[in-house]
Amino acid sequence: MKTYILSCLVAMLAALGNLSAQYTPTLEFASVGGPSGSGPSIAAKSVTFENNTNNPSGNAFVAFTAPTTTVTFSLSNQQYPLSATYSSTGASVVFGGGNNLGQKAINGLNYYYTMGNYSAPVNGDFTSAGTITAGTGIDITANYSLQIFTSVMGLYSAGASSSGTYYMADLTITFNTLVTNPVIHFIGLGGVGGGLGFSNEFTLVTPSLTLTRLSGSTEFAVSGTQILNTAATIGGTTGSGGASGSVLVNGTNISSLTFHVNMRGDGSASTWPNPSGNTSGDGFMIGVSLLTVNSILPLSITDFTATSASTGAQLQWNAAAGANSSIFDVESSRDGTTWQDIGMVMATGDDHSTYAYTDPSAAAGNNFYRIKEVNAAGNAVYSPVKTVYIDVPSTTKLFPNPVRNRLFITGNGSAVQSVIVTAADGREMSRYTGLVAGKSIDMSSLPAGMYFVTIGYVSGSKQTTSIVKY
């Protein structure tokens, strides 16, 4: 029977593997869902993802409503503000901006373009997800991206070195749902003005996240938390001094990402371009893609209970309708702070399913439990914490009883933390700490009568026994 079940499991996994090899649905930027109009602007811009159901081989885009997933781009902390003469927004970094030959002010461009509209990248520069073959899954004629422009006029005014790198502003990418391992696409990092090559570069400043380069032109590099254009002589065309590529952000349950937008000059001219004649800067485009299963995992656990039983602690919970959970990890704690994974229950995929788990290792005293609900992408949410109290077996013995002078204690295998003697009316008569099993306490000074001796164990459990003093 075991061999049959194992064979069925292997066959099922093989089938799933073949299915996943055919397509890996991803949420992508498509022709609908992006901001309309043109800039320059510093107002936040949002894009609604479309579901590419046959990624990476095609572009069968359909609306995604499970749930509708959006991403919002916002700019802040502008380091080189400009006068209205040079920027109608007063900012150096704007959405929908561009060079303006013969004019001083930043020009206006459409916010939302196809990825192939900028800097001549190729499909192989990009990868739609971290789980597929590098250089696949993105079509620069079908996938779209958001246009951003960084003016270098403020660097000229500041007398900045033409071979330095300068922090310009912050770009924050905010998701309306928690996501896992998003992929960020950068298109056209690099430009030329006044004989100087310069390029936008980025530093991820969101804590606890790392970056991995998936694909890109030879100039596109990832170093730690930095995204760089490594060309010695920077240009405006991808593969010829301009950089384009895709980077994976490694992390689960991500709500937002913040990048420092930096500007690097290659030193090929002595100064940054003089803004008196032409507007100069580096325009680039940015897109995002996600595995479709990255959508938020609402907590579907209901009616979670935890009770003591002869076999240990008995846990039970239900899953609400529409749950897209994959597994339920059972976690326990002795103090409610430090948790450990003690078991796993596979989700059935059925609405209103009931699940159960027994912890046979529940210790004497308080045991804390929670359920970690996980979907296929690794997104997780936690249930409320439940507490189960396990009684201490009555194997601790106090003798003699009745007692005249010394009361001896034999343990039940648990370390004794305290012994408290209280009178029948509740008054505490004496307290002892640091005792070990086999020790005794002095009862000789107490008046004759009934007393309660409460033993507290390091495990957190307690045992109370009535004692007669004569």
The structural domains of the chain, ordered by start, are 24-294 (no CATH), 301-390 (2.60.40.10), 397-469 (2.60.40.1930)
pLDDT (0 to 100) of residue 277? 76
CA distance 380 to 378: 6
Tokens representing 379 are: 């997104």
Nearest to 457 by CA among 389, 373, 371, 403: 389
Tokens representing 214 are: 């998936």
pLDDT (0 to 100) of residue 459? 62
Which of helix, strand or coil describes residue 186?
Answer: strand
Beta-carbon contacts of 123 under 8 Å, excluding residues fewer than 6 positions away, are 135, 136, 138, 139, 140
pLDDT (0 to 100) of residue 177? 82
Beta-carbon contacts of 161 under 8 Å, excluding residues fewer than 6 positions away, are 265, 267
pLDDT (0 to 100) of residue 15? 38
Tokens representing 134 are: 């590098």
DSSP 38: B
CA distance 28 to 20: 18
156-177 mean pLDDT: 95
> What percentage of the chain carries pLDDT values higher than 70?
87
Mean pLDDT of all residues belonging to the chain: 86
Confidence of residue 66 (pLDDT cuts 50, 70, 90): confident
Name the residue with higher pLDDT: 270 or 426.
270
* pLDDT above 80 for 376: no
154-175 mean pLDDT: 96
- H or E element that contains 6: helix 2-22
User: With contact defined as beta carbons under 8 Å apart, do 170 and 259 qualify?
Assistant: yes
Nearest to 420 by CA among 458, 470, 464: 464
* pLDDT above 60 for 449: yes
Which amino acid is residue 321, in one-letter code?
A
403-423 mean pLDDT: 80
- H or E element that contains 21: helix 2-22
* pLDDT above 60 for 418: yes
> What percentage of the chain carries pLDDT values higher than 90?
54
pLDDT (0 to 100) of residue 19? 39
CA distance 407 to 434: 16
Condensed to tens digits (0 to 9), the pLDDT of residues 293-304 reads: 655 455 678 889
DSSP 156: H
CA distance 322 to 441: 61
CA distance 461 to 392: 7
71-85 mean pLDDT: 95
H helices, E strands: number in the chain: 2, 36
In angstroms, what CA-CA distances link 251 with 73, 126, 209, 393? 19, 20, 6, 45
* pLDDT above 90 for 394: no
Confidence of residue 13 (pLDDT cuts 50, 70, 90): very low
**What is the phi/psi pair of residue 423, to 5°?**
-75, 170
User: With contact defined as beta carbons under 8 Å apart, do 103 and 179 qualify?
Assistant: no
